[in-house]
Structures are given as C-alpha cells and as structure tokens.
Amino acid sequence: MPRDTLAQLIELLPLSRLLQITLIIIFTWLFLRILLVGLQQLMQRFPRYRLQMGLMFPVLRIIIWTLITAYIVFGVINPPQSIVFAVLGSLGLAIGLAAQGGVRNLLAGVMMIFNPPFRVGDMVHFGGHYGEVTRLDLSVTWLRTLDDNTIMVPNSAVLENAVVNANSGELSEMVVVNIDLPRSIDILQARSLAKEAAIASPYTFLKKPVRIMVESRYDFNYLLRLVIKAYVVDVRFEGVFSSDITERFIEALNAQGIENSHTHPAESVFID
C-alpha cells in the first residue's frame, strides 16, 4: 500500500512537473515583489492616496496566491478527486489539531483583509499597542510606535480585543493634548491661548475644527485640565504636532506671566 502511494505520488509529481511548480512559485513571488515595489513607487508619487494604495497589496497578494495555488493543484498536478479529498481531510485535521493559534491568526488575517478594521498607514491601538500600521501579513500585523519601535501583533488580537483606529483611512488624524493647569488660572485666557497655539502650528489641519475642552481634576490638588483636540495634517507628524502645540501653549503662558500666578508648588503646569 505505501509503495502504491509512493508510486502514485511520483506519477503525479515527476521531476518536470516539480520544476514547473517551482518556476510558477518563483515567478509569482517575483511578480508580487515587483507589484509591491511598483505600489511603493506610486505611493511615493501620490502621497495623498498612499493609504488607499497600501490597502491594495494585501488583498491582491491573497487573491494571487489563491489563484496560483488553484492553478498548480488543478492545472498542473491535476490529481484524482480521491486524492484531493484525502489530502484536504488530512490537512484539515492536522491543521485543526496542531496549529490552532496559527490558523486563528491566519483566519483573522483573512477576515481583516476583506473587512479591514485598519489599513497600512493608519494609526491604531491594536493588541495593547499604539502605532502606525506598516505592514499587514496574513497572520501578523506590524506596527511602528511613536518611539520608533517595531511591534509584531498576532492578527488573532482583532478577534479578542477592540481595535481603535485614529484616522480610519484618512491622512489627517485627531490628536488630543491634555494640559493640567492650576485652578486659579484665567480660563478664558487659557482657552484662547490654547486655541491659538493649536491653529498656529504648521502641522494643524485647519479644514477640521479645533476644540478646547475644560475638565476638573484632582491630583494632590484641584486642577483644571485643558483638553486640546486638533487634527494633524498627516499621521506621520503626530508626535511632532503634539509637542509643537504644547511648546507653543507653554511659551504663550510664560509670555503672559501666567505660570507665576500660582503659589502652591503642586499647582504647576502638567502635560500629559
């Protein structure tokens, strides 16, 4: 019986056919590389549409590999139906038993490609991490954090936790800057300065509104929290934007002599 199987296998996969399959795989891989490089060039040429283009590659890759696999199986090898069912059954059982986590990630990856909670270039909270999506693979997602660390998050995290997408495919993104001030501060003046600081930043996307909210807070003392909500023109500048607004606001407070108004050491300006 094993001898028959081996003979059947050799009959199905002679050396010439193996070579053919190898060539097809190499050409497909090369084609995908060229496609990726081409898309990257296009993304550089039309940065405004880079997020939409970034979404195309993962979808194209899975479609192309599925088509190529189908072609290899049914067009090149063309096994008898009994073997196809036997292999599928065995594969299903083996995969189901041995690689539950992997398959889970894979399935989540497929789900994410056809029903994307985010795309390449989005800023997301995913799997407990925050950063820019730099690559979407079938089983993992790669994030680059604001500290420039690269994090690989298993795709199954999308099935277990909520995903927060800060820009949802748009280039602009809301950035929230929290600033704690002493309660004795002139609220109107502080709000006005905060708004002007947000508008004056060259990274602010002025098409969308700038909002300033005030909250009461207790941290060793009663404080006022100023929440500046503004949109950055491009997600790439999120870090520098947040810092720029904070710097401008503190500088404006200093220029107005506001930081000297508090008397209690705890009543200083805190930035979150």
Residues near other proteins (CB under 8 A): 38, 41-42, 45-48, 171, 196-197, 199-200, 202-203, 205-207, 233-234, 237, 244, 247-248, 251-252
Nearer to other proteins, 133 or 232 (CB): 232
CB of 210 to other proteins, least distance (A): 9
Nearer to other proteins, 157 or 197 (CB): 197
Inter-residue long-range contacts of 185-193, CB under 8 Å, 24+ positions, other chains counted: 185/224, 185/258, 185/261, 185/262, 186/258, 187/214, 187/224, 189/256, 189/258, 190/224, 190/226, 190/253, 190/258, 191/226, 193/249, 193/252, 193/253, 193/256
Residues 6+ apart with CB under 8 A from 4: none
CB of 47 to other proteins, least distance (A): 5
Q: Residue 129 and residue 191: Cα distance in Å, rounded?
A: 31
Q: Residue 52 and residue 33: Cα distance in Å, rounded?
A: 19
Block residue for tokens 């299903």: 92
CB of 216 to other proteins, least distance (A): 27
Closest listed residue to residue 128, CA positions, set 102, 152, 101, 100? 152
CB of 172 to other proteins, least distance (A): 9
Nearer to other proteins, 11 or 251 (CB): 251
CB of 212 to other proteins, least distance (A): 14
Nearer to other proteins, 41 or 184 (CB): 41
Mark residue 121 as left, alpha or beta (left: phi above 0; alpha: psi -120 to 50; beta: remaining).
left
CB of 256 to other proteins, least distance (A): 10
Closest listed residue to residue 193, CA positions, set 208, 175, 179? 179
Nearer to other proteins, 137 or 170 (CB): 170
Nearer to other proteins, 173 or 267 (CB): 173
